Amino acid sequence: MRGGAKKDSFMDESAIELGAIDSSLKGLSRLDNPAKWARLMNLKGIVLTNLQRYEEAAAAFTDALKLDDQAFKSKVYLNFAKIFFFTRDTKRALELLTRLFENSKAVKRFPEEILGYAHLLRGQIYNIIKDEKLSLSEFRKAEYFFEVGVNPMGVGLACLEIARVHIKNESLSVAWNFLRKSELFLNKLGEEEKLGVYICKAVALYYSGKGDEAIELLKGVYDTHSGSAMGKGLHTIDEIIDAYLDTRSRMLQYQKALI
């Protein structure tokens, strides 16, 4: 499926899902069943975020936060923060993540998976504001919590982000170690995950002065994504890595854990 058609299909599916959620909310009282109501509002916020209807999504998450369940609130804080990540309001995104981390201290056996995703997102935010030291620290924390929580996709994504930082700094020997680890965890999970690994490996080769090898590695990517600008070879290799890792598609990969 070509890139545009795939996106249209995803948006159509999201619109259908939104309709189903609204139908479930009809006649459901928050006072009678606060837990079910809040979880539907959280799900509604996720779907509205996917549809890029951010103001409506923010309203849904605000309603979901009315449930007095601290572990659940942390999921909502993370989903809410993603809105401001996408709109590049980094200050508000960081404020919501700070609430999440404060909340985690008050909850016994707080889910490592949520902490992993929260550190992953905070690392991406620090990357936007060009603080590579803090960004790298957050990605390492994400890697740790994903390993503790036995989340292979999370470990792979965190290592991919760590590799990206080292590739940008041309610390290639370190980058290759994390690329190998990322590949180990992501290669069996699907085409989207493998794509990120291949692109990072290609850029590492490119920065190592092995441009021909990088191009060879990307030929398969070009063929697979023939309908996109990437597939047509319209971008340089170092632009491709930014396009992939900048990162709506990657963040959508882990949203199911936050429902």
Say yes or no: 157 and 189 in one domain: yes
**Which percentage of the chain shows pLDDT scores above 90?**
31
pLDDT at 178: 87
pLDDT (tens digit, 9 = 90+) per residue, 191-235?
Answer: 656 666 777 777 777 777 777 777 777 666 655 544 444 444 444
Using the 3D structure, point to which of 68, 89, 119 is the last residue of a domain: 68
H or E segment and range at residue 225: none
Say yes or no: 188 and 220 in one domain: yes
- SS3 (DSSP) at 137: helix
Structural domain including 95 reads 71-258
Q: What is the mean pLDDT of the chain?
A: 79
User: What average pLDDT does the segment 136-144 reach?
Assistant: 95
- How distant, in Å, are the alpha carbons of 162, 173, 193 from that of 208? 18, 10, 23
Kindly report the CATH number assigned to the domain that includes residue 143.
1.25.40.10
Q: Distance between CA 32 and CA 242 in Å, rounded?
A: 47
Q: Distance between CA 131 and CA 234 in Å, rounded?
A: 29
| pTM score, whole prediction | 0.78
Say yes or no: 243 and 163 in one domain: yes
Query: Is the dihedral angle over the CA atoms 93, 248, 192, 195 positive or is it negative?
Result: negative
Using the 3D structure, point to which of 22, 46, 68 is the last residue of a domain: 68
pLDDT at 237: 47
Say yes or no: 25 and 58 in one domain: yes
pLDDT (tens digit, 9 = 90+) per residue, 53-91?
Answer: 999 999 999 999 999 988 889 999 999 999 999 899 999
Closest CA to 84 of 124, 24, 116: 124
Q: Distance between CA 45 and CA 67 in Å, rounded?
A: 15
Say yes or no: 38 and 126 in one domain: no
Say yes or no: 242 and 114 in one domain: yes
pLDDT at 233: 43
pLDDT at 133: 92
Say yes or no: 51 and 139 in one domain: no
Residues 103, 106, 112: CA angle, nearest 5 degrees: 70
Using the 3D structure, point to which of 68, 89, 114 is the last residue of a domain: 68
User: What average pLDDT does the segment 136-158 reach?
Assistant: 90
Kindly state the tokens that stand for 122.
């905070």
